[in-house]
Amino acid sequence: MGSIEEERPLFEQGSVLLQEVKLYAEDGSVDIHGNPPLKQKTGNWKACPFILGNECCERLAYYGIAKNLVTYFTTKLHETNVSAARHVMIWQGTCYITPLIGALIADAYWGRYWTIACFSAIYFTGMATLTLSASFPGLKPAECIGFLCPPATTTQSSVFFVGLYLISLGTGGIKPCVSSFGADQFDDTDPHERPSKTSFFNWFYFSINIGAFVSSTLLVWVQENCGWGLGFLIPTVVMGLSLVSFFCGTPLYRFQKPGGSPVTRVSQVLVAAYRKMSLKFDEEDHTLLFETQDKNSTIPGSRKIEHTYGYKKISFYHFE
């Protein structure tokens, strides 16, 4: 009888310990100190306003520049329509190429948080440079006198394009990371948090559209009626506030560790597939082709994809 009473507290302690373990996220994420994140104090919707705000402000700043950029080239820098269109297309193309750089850095080295933070600072620097270029008389060409429009000097063009391409570099670090960083705030192993991830993406794209709508209407009107300096200053201030806000949410975030370069992993798969083309295996156990025995992914910062029978009617292999 005495032994049973002695074992009961141990059982109760084990139950309490199990409940305490469930208080922490189990998807491999960590908090700012590198410890397992406590669900009640990190992640979920508590962290999302800072992330959504950063994305909304970044889109507001981007479209605040892009929507009216051809007009600025032709009316303030005195470029021809052809030259202005060429500059804008090259810049926009660069904005869609640089996310490859940002994604590689985030996955292999810095992680999503520091990539967003550093590239947001670069973005803000570019916006500030662009605002100075449009505000100070010495950094922009003189106004036209009749049909005589003096072209921009080398210094004036250099300052403007440095600011413009700093923005393209900044958006390259933000665009591929913000949505994924927001998804990291929800624990896939928690049935209560998992459905919220879908709702987060709804709010994410809503934030994008809000930023684009404000910039395409209000900012364009300000630029054409109140001056380009003020029209560029407003998104610069908004971007600065979003950067401060993003850092303020740091204690609430959950972080996934960098998992190494995806280029390296893809190359490893190709090499392994080539070397094992003639490998014999048990045809009755197809799980050997795609299943691993570990509970979690062996790649830091990655989640193991759960097996599903949803596509069992699709056959990729033919056994004779």
Question: Residue 286: which pLDDT band, with cuts at 50, 70 and 90?
Answer: low
3-state secondary structure of 306: coil
How far apart, in Å, are the Cα atoms of 89 and each of 33, 85, 152, 203? Answer: 43, 6, 20, 29
Question: Residue 84: which pLDDT band, with cuts at 50, 70 and 90?
Answer: very high
Looking at the domain assignment, is residue 13 inside a domain?
A: no
CB of 102 closer than 8 Å to CB of 257: no
Question: Residue 19: which pLDDT band, with cuts at 50, 70 and 90?
Answer: very low
**Two tokens at 210?**
């809000």
Domain coverage including residue 239: 44-252
Share of the chain above pLDDT 90, in %: 45
Average of per-residue pLDDT across 168-187:
91
Q: By CB neighbour count within 10 A (0-12 exposed, 13-18 middle, 19+ buried), where does 203 fall?
A: middle
Q: Residue 293: what are its φ and ψ, rounded to 5°?
A: -80, -20
3-state secondary structure of 39: coil
Greater confidence (23 vs 84) lies with 84
Looking at the domain assignment, is residue 316 inside a domain?
A: no
DSSP letters, 46-66, are HHHHHHHHHHHHHHHHHHHHH
**Two tokens at 265?**
């992993």
Q: Residue 100: what are its φ and ψ, rounded to 5°?
A: -65, -40
Please write the tens of the pLDDT for every residue from 239-266.
Answer: 999 899 899 999 999 998 887 777 777 8
**Two tokens at 125?**
């620097």
CATH of the domain at 199: 1.20.1250.20
Threshold 0.85, pTM exceeds: no
How far apart, in Å, are the Cα atoms of 111 and each of 53, 102, 105, 249? Answer: 20, 10, 7, 16
Nearest 5°: CA angle at 186, between 303 and 37?
A: 85
Nearest 5°: CA angle at 305, between 288 and 15?
A: 105
Q: What is the spatial distance between Cα 140 and Cα 317, in angstroms, rounded to a whole number?
A: 64
Give the residues across from 148 on adjacent strands: 145
Question: Residue 89: which pLDDT band, with cuts at 50, 70 and 90?
Answer: very high
How many domains does one find in the chain? 1
Q: At what angle do helices 81-105 and 112-135 cross, to 10 degrees?
A: 160
Looking at the domain assignment, is residue 51 inside a domain?
A: yes
Question: Residue 18: which pLDDT band, with cuts at 50, 70 and 90?
Answer: very low
CB of 133 closer than 8 Å to CB of 69: no
Nearest 5°: CA angle at 307, between 23 and 320?
A: 165
Looking at the domain assignment, is residue 185 inside a domain?
A: yes
Question: Residue 311: which pLDDT band, with cuts at 50, 70 and 90?
Answer: low
Looking at the domain assignment, is residue 194 inside a domain?
A: yes
Looking at the domain assignment, is residue 22 inside a domain?
A: no
CB of 190 closer than 8 Å to CB of 39: yes
The count of C-alpha atoms lying within 13 angstroms of the C-alpha of 101, restricted to the half-sphere facing its C-beta, is 12
**Two tokens at 35?**
């410890």
Question: Residue 144: which pLDDT band, with cuts at 50, 70 and 90?
Answer: confident
**pLDDT value at position 319?**
43
CB of 50 closer than 8 Å to CB of 252: yes
Average of per-residue pLDDT across 87-97:
94
Looking at the domain assignment, is residue 9 inside a domain?
A: no
Looking at the domain assignment, is residue 127 inside a domain?
A: yes
Q: What radius of gyration, in Å, describes the C-alpha atoms of the chain?
A: 26
Residue matched to tokens 């491999």: 28
CB of 163 closer than 8 Å to CB of 130: yes
Please write the tens of the pLDDT for every residue from 116-134.
Answer: 999 999 999 999 999 999 9
Q: Which residues of 127-149 are buried (b: 16+ CB within 10 A; e: fewer)?
A: bbbbbbbbeeeebbbeeeeeeeb
**Two tokens at 226?**
């109140």
